[in-house]
Chains A and B, each alone.
Chain A
Amino acid sequence: MTADQTTRHTTATHRSLCTLPIALLLVLALPVLTACGEPPWNNPNPLVQDDLQTYQSMMAPAPPKHLDPALSYATDESLFIMQIYEPPMDYHFLKRPYELIPGALASAPEVTFLDADGQPVEESDPAVAFTRYTLRLREDLHFQPHPAFALDDAGQPLYLFDNVADGARFKQIPDFPVTGARPVHANDYAYAIRRLADPKNASPMLGFMSQYIVGMKAFSEQVAGLPRDSWLNLDDIPMDGLEVVDERTLNITIKGLYPQFVYWLAMPFFSPIAPEVDRFYHNPGFADRNLTLDWWPVGSGPFMMVKNDPNSEIVLERNPNYRADYFPTEGAPGDLEAGNLADAGKRLPLIDRAVFRLEKSGLSLWTKFMQGYYDRSGEVHSNTTGVFDQAFVVRPDGVEMSSELADHRITMSPDVKPGLYYYGFNMRDPVVGGYTEEKRKLRQALQIAFQTEEYLNVFYKGNGIAAHNLIPPGIPGNLEGEAGMNPYVYDWVDGEPRRKSLDYARQLLAEAGYPNGRDASTGEPLKIFIDVQSQAIDNTSMNWIDRVFAEIGVQVEFRPADFNRTREKLLTGNTQIFSHGWLADYPDPENFLFLLYGPESPLECDCDGANNSNYASEEYDALFRQMRVLPPGPERDALVAQMVELYRRDAVWLYAFYPKEIYLNNSWVYNNKRHGISKSTLKYTRVDEAEREKMQALWNQPITWPLYAALLLFVSLLLPGIVAYRRRQNATIRHAISRHTLSRHIGG
């Protein structure tokens, strides 16, 4: 090989090496040249060519952990469970206040009161020892198609394996070629309750429900003692409180009076579970491939799960065996005008498929929503808090959207959840606790100083309502207007509540023995300690709270800690002020008032009680016991009002607010009314796919000049480099030659 050839060879390598960036840019730029009329480049959703109406949604910020209705107790999990399973009771989609309606039942459960001998008595009879609920199922309930129901020619289950190897070829549920289905029986509901009682499932309901359902505890203890090598048919073990009368009728007996029990029947825990499904999932080796009831739910609800990849997406499709269910024909006042009844009478569900993609970061979620790739801004959270004030303008007369949102014809659905967030005082604390007049005044002074409205405005963008009461709006016991105001913290001025002045707070503080925030006897400054979960608070809000209390001369110190440590402090009462939240299970004041019921204190019950304030008032407790068993009515309302007054007078919480969120919906999604409690609302959602496709194309025209700019920049960097190299190469030679000749001259 001559020198010339090698040079050519190496420059060729060089060229091929360094033209690669250009090639890379070309790859980037390639779509530019081919893109005309093609779908947008930035579409993160795969293009599926079929005519199924698909709802595009997300799971944010994390996938569900449990989909077994016996285990799950989180809203982001109910989002799926409640579409797939159908509990006996349901909530009316549109009516407010929330109305319980029969779901899988043909009619509301019949209630019979029994005495200790099991004889029916009147409700008011003091001899009432048990309550019996009789559930009558609808005729047309069927489970979804599922391999667990597949039968062979002999009528035996097709997919039951004796060893791991036989079933090893099935990795996921869609891998099973044959499926079957069958009607839902009353026994399936009974089986589900037995599963709640099975200690192996570690259901969060076991402890709570066994206080009520007759024989549940005994059942649980009996099962705990049995050998569990393979599937155990829980049907073989009787539970006293459960009686399957016939294929469509089930009796559940609970201890004493507990009118709220009917609300629990609308929760996922009471969804039917077919024993053969449970058995199917106990096939050897199935659990090692995540083939469990926890990951592949099987129900009789409007949807069924066809894909479960919690790392990227979960896909639900219409259950072909779903019962006859129709969009309600009546709603709350205003629904007709708002167009919420446009689909009245239509067969549900209105969509064929729903795709939930995992979305962890707020920035990408919001971006994708604005690009039209998500139909709504959120499912269990609105995800709009961070962008609220820029996206909306809150006017005195309501909420208005920014021009960008208005251009997209986005609609809003406000949602006030029946929940509370609060900072509670530990009533056993020597400094802020106690029931003397001084201590009350101290707490009231702190309450007044904490500017809840301003706090919500700054940190929650107004997505919250300052609480005057421990019962949220929409639930009996929460009153509007002056009657619902907390007179210890607010004054009624010009038709609205106004927070009492800081001067008044300072005066209260002085009367409590802390003039200017200093202990009257020692001069020591008053310092309060707030325990928070470290993830729940950031520097800016801590600084803000610090400044607010500095106004009345009180020093604040935060003690952030992780979830377990905070919980431990609450359980041992080793806290002064703590942050906590509560989301109701059902829309009844009892579910909130029990947050201050004395025996619920963790220090009293030696359990994970809900009364973390350790509030102990004999008066309150007596009222609570009375109220708990009363049916709704004026008598009960009066008791509730008395309890609320005690809560206000004793100033048990530093501040509280009701979370309020505004969900955004793209223009092609319909029936967006939020239901604060029920999650089984996906069946009402309707989408207009053609409109969505049009808008997506319109909003996502890529901006391509940066590609060309990058290319240009690259070339402009390369060119002077090449020029400089040429010059240098030549210069060296010339220079060398001249020096060479020079030295020869001198040498010569």
Chain B
Amino acid sequence: MRCYNRSVLLIALVACSAAFAQGPTYQRGRTPTQEEIRAWDISISPSGMELPPGKGTAKEGANIYAQKCAECHGPTGAEGDFRHGRLVGGKGTLNTTRPIITLGSFWPFATTIWDYINRSMPMYRAGSLSADEVYALTAVLLYRNGIIQENDVIDAKSLPKIQMPNRNGFFPTKPVWKPGTKREFGLYP
């Protein structure tokens, strides 16, 4: 009798979980249109797969930088007095007691530059830049950090291929999370 009950329960459980995996259970929410998703999806992967069409060079971007960025970040981008603001320089400072963290000295991926300018900049006027302008400004910052040449064209293809100088400065090499991992005293992790 007991055995019988258990097997019924087991069958019911299996049936339940199979249904769960196949389709929605609660039938709430609606399907968004492709246009809605496109309008909201501003996340750019290190692979660059979401990057839109467009292009720009540091030469083309210099003027845009002067007009829209220099007010807060300084004429060259190396003037910032705290690390959020400073965009250029800091090479060779990471192992000192005053590391200067900029996208040139620290950031592992160039795609983050495009993502953040497009997502958030200029402050209070986010979303006002065209894709071409964002590519051009990304090129300006890469050029001023000595990573590309002034006339290098930055677009959806070339941007993810750029090797950032500090790409290998991070540990663990691949960030992973394992639930319940115990850590040593004071080492987090």
Q: State whether these chains interact.
A: no
